[in-house]
Structure 1
Amino acid sequence: MPERSLPSTAAQKDRLLTGDRPTGPLHLGHLLGSLQSRVAMQDSHECFLIVADLHTLTTRPERDRIAELPRNVRAVVLDLLSVGIDPEKSTIYLQSGVPAVYDLAILLQMLIPASHLRSLASIAQMAKVAGVDDERMSLGLLGYPVLQAADILMARAQLIPVGGDNLAHVEIAREVAQSFNEMYAEVFPLPEGRASRVPMLPGIGPDGPAASKMSKSAGNTINLGDTADVVASKLRTLGGARLRGFIDALIGNGDDDDGQAKAMHAAHQAGKLSDAAVHDRLITETEALLAPLRERRAAFEADEGLVEEILVDGTIRAREVAYATLQQVREAMGLEPLWKGLIDVAERRALDRKKPY
């Protein structure tokens, strides 16, 4: 295996941070909403990409679910590589392998009211999907945005590309950073959230709310590694609002500058274009996106040990950044001077004991 260098830390580049929970393989919603833009920004930004295994514990803390993480983590990294993420340009790291983030999260918890977290619709939705009611909601799930803030602020990231439902979490990170800077010292840049080009791709299947989001947790996805036959069969289940959502995302490319999606909507609504004909067009467009990814993924998967090497290298890099940030935080808050003061007194006492009469 050829030796690789760690991503550059060029000071002139703004830092970008985003990530994925390894609850299953990445899907078409991730590709259109986030992954394509990550690839496009690798040259203009210093990118940190989290494989956010700690975040899975908020809704999946059971031992058997944790046992699934090695397979899921590997699948996420292979998906990232297949879409064009370059580990020479982007730091891909395992969240739980950076213990300084846990420490930072505890300190940041002191700066955000619990009532603010309880009011977040995204947390309520996560709990609903996981089948967790208010009585059984864990402190970890309620504090999910605080751990996200620790991820963002440990890297002192400026740009945070997220889905529309997570923009409120970036705002919490921004508020926490601002509060910290005002209370202690200017340690953190204020992060800016950037909504995905396709903020929500509907899930596959005829059942449930028509506008429900494609989600690993909901099990209604077209995975990046799905075969062409599986993709086609899933797309042929679309109808109604779901079908319209796919037209907007795949034909309109999220903005529909040339009006293709509008024309297809009009023809479909007028009965000039059948569901089957729309399905055929969507299958063609989706295959154009996914076929090259399958080929690249197979090549990376065949390179034994590559995924593990990338994760270890990236996590070591992330640790360096995180511990440097934590040190600054502890200094600014006065916690490090407290500890150093205790050590100084203890050392002087030990030296005094060794002095002759």
Structure 2
Amino acid sequence: MSNMSKTAATVQKVVSTKLSHGSTVFSMIQPTGLFHLGNYFGAVRVWKQLANPSNCHSHLMFGVADLHSITLPQDPLRLNDSIETSIASLIACGLDPEHCNLFVQSRIPQHVQLNWILSCITPMGQLNRMTQFKSKAALRSEDIGSAKLGLFTYPVLQAADILIYKSTHVPVGQDQAQHLELTRDIAQLFNNTVGREYFPLPSTMLAPTQKIVSLKNPSKKMSKSDPDELSKIFFNESSKNIVHKINKAVTDSIEGPLYYSEEQRPGISNLINLIAAVTGQSIQNIEHQISDFTKAQLKDYTSSLIIDELKEPSYRYKQIKDDHALLEKIAIEGSRIASEKAQKTIDEVYSLVGLRR
């Protein structure tokens, strides 16, 4: 199969949340604090839609990627708080521990065990081609010697995260699609090495939402680290703050009907993307509805939709964010279940590579 057709066969938009019997869905999010709209629409809401009773015959594994977070410097106390905040945020956004497994990556040592096995067969050339490494390292190719090893090799840990549960589907944003292709390559390399089709090659499930970008600078994606508070909206924002931030969002000076064009009208297009994310409608349908709106009316409409969408998660977050005992209980139980699944894989992998009979 050619690279093009191979990719087409393993990448799909999330158009249905109904999973085939026995599927294993896996995804994680880094503990960087409260979720903004990009996190919510690009990942967590899709997880919520998948974690429904109709998928009770599938395994749904959603975690907090705290080991990945330390590839960049972290304040230890702040990181610890952010891990708990992430668990609370996942539950507030609709992930029911009764219908899915919520875990913390660092509590499951088997991730790291499999990471070493896979590191021993992964070519460095493939890691060097990862665009996110170059972006996060902020280095020119000639300066690669000063980059940290963890930042360079974390796609192998990411592959281990996914493969330790023999995942069949991985919902991610477009920026992670390259890493999922590497995961499939590593899985196939392992299978070839041991002479059997042990690991399934997981399919990439791309979130249907277009990338949500900064409200103040549409050339950048929405980011928690952006110092401009007006650039981002968190899922627990007050209605007043949401209206204020949307009203301050960048648009343009083009007169006449509103339309979608990321090149010509990135600010307007971002607001349309937000409407599409909330309503699930196509860009074309929304363009037809809002073509005669003024920019002020478009902002009012966008604000009202976001406020309504976030009302329930925001309320739930306030209810549980300080219940440390409950959040710890959920993390412990979810990590225990995940560890049991992961240990079965490690036992089999160790046997296949000759480390255990």
Alignment TM-score, normalising by the size of structure 1? 0.82
2:212 is aligned with 1:201:
yes
Does the aligned pair in 2 maintain the 1:159–1:192 contact within 8 Å?
yes
Aligned to 1:312: 332
Q: More displaced, 313-322 or 255-264?
A: 255-264
The percent identity for this pair of structures is: 26
Cross-structure match for 1:80: 90
Q: How far apart are 1:264 and its partner, in Å?
A: 5.4
State the partner residue of 2:288: 263
Q: Does 1:213 align with 2:221?
A: yes
CA distance in structure 2 between the aligned counterparts of 1:304 and 1:67, rounded to whole angstroms = 15
Q: After superposition, give the CA deviation of every residue in 1:191-232 in whole Å (9 maximum; x if it has no partner).
A: 1111111141012324xxx33111234454311122222222
Residue matched to 1:39 = 48
SS, match of residue 356 in structure 2: helix
Change beyond 3 A, Cα 1:202–1:188: same
Equivalent position amino acid for 2:296 in 1: A
Picking from 288, 298, 306, the partner of 1:278 is: 298
Correspondence for 1:115 among 104, 111, 125:
125
Cα deviation 1:168-200 (Å, max 9, x = unaligned):
111111111111111113321111111111141
- Which of 32, 35, 38 in structure 2 is aligned with 1:23? 32
**What residue ranges of structure 1 are gaps of 5+ in the alignment?**
1-10, 268-272, 338-357
Cα pair 1:59 1:127 within 8 Å, conserved:
no
The list of structure 1 runs, each at least 4 consecutive aligned residues, that deviate by more than 6 angstroms after superposition, is none
**Mapped contact 1:154–1:325 kept (Cα < 8 A):** yes
> Does the Cα contact within 8 Å between 1:29 and 1:200 map onto a contact in 2?
yes
Alignment partners' CA distance in 1, 2:316 and 2:275: 22
Could you tell me which residue of structure 1 aligns to residue 257 of structure 2?
A: none
Instruction: Please say if residues 26 and 79 of structure 1, whose CA atoms lie closer than 8 Å, have aligned partners that are also in contact.
Output: yes
* Cα distance in 1 for residues equivalent to 2:130 and 2:226: 20
Q: Aligned match of 1:243 in 268, 276, 290? A: 268
**What corresponds to 1:50 in structure 2?**
63
Maintained 8 Å contact 2:276/2:283: no
Q: Identify the residue that residue 354 of structure 2 maps to in structure 1.
A: 334
Determine the C-alpha separation between the residues in 1 that align with 2:312 and 2:280: 24
2:241 aligned partner = 230
Q: Secondary structure at the match of 1:283?
A: helix
Answer yes or no: is the 8 Å Cα contact 1:97–1:315 preserved in 2. Answer: yes
CA-to-aligned-CA distance 1:80-129 (integer Å, 9 cap, x gap): 11111010111111111111111111111122221211212222223349
Distance 2:355 2:331 in 1: 31
Judge conservation of contact 1:252–1:261 (CA < 8 Å) in 2: no
**What amino acid maps onto 1:151 in structure 2?**
D
Asked whether the equivalents of residues 290 and 298 of structure 2 are also in contact (C-alpha less than 8 Å), the reply is no
| CA offset digits 1:122-166 (Å, max 9, x no partner) | 22223349xxx7443211111121111010001111000000010
Report what 1:170 is aligned to. Answer: 180
What are the equivalent positions in structure 2 for 1:149-188 lying under 5 Å apart?
A: 149-184=159-194, 185-188=196-199
Report the secondary structure of 1:50's partner residue: strand
Q: How does 1:135-146 map to 2 (within 5 A)?
A: 135-146=145-156
CA separation of 1:66 and 1:252: change in aligned 2, threshold 3 A: closer
* Number of matched pairs: 313
Task: Quote the Cα distance in structure 2 between the aligned partners of 1:334 and 1:144.
Answer: 25
- The CA distance in 1 between the partners of 2:210 and 2:355, in whole Å, is 41
Among residues 90, 102, 113, which one is paired with 1:103 in the alignment? 113
The whole-number CA distance in structure 2 between the counterparts of 1:76 and 1:95 is 12
Match of 1:94 in 2: 104
Between stretches 92-101 and 215-224, larger displacement belongs to 215-224
Which structure has the bigger radius of gyration?
1
Using the alignment, how far apart are the partners of 1:30 and 1:170 within structure 2? 18
Deviations 1:63-82 (A, max 9, x none): xx222122111111111111
Counterpart code for 1:278: L
Residue 289 of structure 1: how far off its partner (Å): 0.7
Q: What SS does the corresponding residue of 1:93 show, helix, strand or coil?
A: strand
- 2:235 and 2:214 map into 1 onto residues whose CA distance is 14
RMSD: 2.2
User: For 1:200, what is the secondary structure of its paired residue?
Assistant: coil
Q: 1:265 to 1:277 in 2, by over 3 A?
A: closer
Q: Which amino acid aligns with 2:268?
A: L
Instruction: Report deviation, 1:251.
Output: 4.0
Question: 3-state SS of the aligned residue for 2:249?
Answer: coil
In 1, Cα distance between equivalents of 2:279 and 2:146: 38
